[in-house]
Structure 1
Amino acid sequence: MSQIADYSAQAALKDGTPVEIRALRPSDEADMLAAIERTGPSSLQSRFFVMKRHFSEKERAFFMDVDFSNHVALAAWALEQGRPAIVGGGRYVVTNPGEAEMAFVVVDAWQGRGIGSLLLRHLIDIAREQEIRELTAEVLADNASMRRVFAKSDFRPARSEDPRTVRLTLDLGSARPA
């Protein structure tokens, strides 16, 4: 594991709410599953492209088996009812040398507050350090809010194989630092 496994940064949302953006740890599995339970069906469909409520052992293992080289995952933590809770997460997985695909999910009650944008900025910075040249994301065509988050960071539409989705790409060689 690289030093990214220890990644942690303090940040504030648009409304001033403090959050911690940090590397997802194996000990975070219960908190991650609790965050999924607080995420509505339409938000989960936007993330997984199918109705999803429960995950198989294989899926859970994939989400938690983060090597911080080919699979980088960050969690956004904030206080909920006085205790720290995961309120969003983002990751990228290397698909080819120098290329990685990203995905995000934000707990419904925390959407629209800047968590997706924060996670995206941190993942772009990490990808640059890891010498990733291109980031991509597949977003459902009707997911306007996530498309706006990507557009603000200079992701551009590219050809998608699936008519239900929009493929977005960011060339890290020419993109401005977030």
Structure 2
Amino acid sequence: MQARDYAATEILRDERRVEIRALRPEDRAALLAAVSRTSDQSLYRRFFAFKRGFTDQEVDFYINIDFVSHVALVAVLEEDGRPMIVGGARYIVGQPGQAEVAFAVDDAHQGKGIGTALLRHLVVLARQGGLKELIADVLPVNTAMLKVFGTSGLGITTRQEPDTTHVVLQLS
């Protein structure tokens, strides 16, 4: 299966089914709606800055991806009979064999295993893409994300920087 066609179903901690699938250009409005439901604190943990709005250029960057050097997945839950994007994860290749990862889950759906599921599926695609490492800089207060990485079953090294924890996940 090609990355741009990726789709899988997971069972969350609360027994709900979540679809983990490739981000599509037509997800633009749903992705922006997910951002609007996310607290300032959660957005700060994702972007390291208080960021409420995005320029058209930034939105285009996040939506229009090539699924080779930039791969993105979304988590979709059924809410009130409608599919709703509740989280997302992506990696961007920075150098051969290595990519930086980033995750976001809207506040109402944190703590249910969505970040863990997104990481598991992002790893599948990263390995298919020939990557050896995933890296991330995480704010020390973002203990939930550090736990997702720490319990991933992957080889992990961390290094404390002045304002972040630098995480390297080994894929092989």
Query: What's the CA shift for 1:164?
Result: 1.4
Unaligned stretches of 5+ residues in structure 2 = none
Match of 2:114 in 1: 115
Q: Does 1:65 align with 2:58?
A: no
Q: Is contact 2:138-2:145 (8 Å) kept? A: yes
What's the TM-score once normalised by structure 1's chain length?
0.92
Distance 2:155 2:70 in 1: 20
Matched with 2:156 is 156
Residue 49 of structure 1: how far off its partner (Å): 0.4
Q: Normalization by structure 2: what TM-score?
A: 0.95
Q: Spell out, residue by residue over 1:90-112, the C-alpha distance to the aligned partner (whole angstroms, 9 max, x if none).
A: 00000001100000000100000
**2:136 aligned partner:** 137
1: distance between equivalents of 2:137 and 2:61? 19
Q: How large is the Cα RMSD of the aligned pairs?
A: 1.3
Q: Report if aligned partners of 1:74, 1:90 keep a CA contact under 8 Å in 2.
A: yes
> Aligned residues: percent identity?
50
> Is the CA contact 1:157–1:166 (under 8 Å) kept in the aligned structure 2?
no
Quote how far apart the aligned CAs of 1:156 are: 2.6
1:15 Cα deviation after fit: 1.4
CA distance in 1, matches of 2:149, 2:14: 20
The CA distance in 1 between the partners of 2:162 and 2:12, in whole Å, is: 34
Aligned to 1:100: 99
Letter of the 2:108 counterpart = A
C-alpha deviation, 1:157, in angstroms: 3.7
SS at match of 2:101: strand
Shift of 1:155: 5.3
CA distance in 2, matches of 1:57, 1:146: 28
Tell me, what secondary structure is at the counterpart of 1:45?
Answer: helix
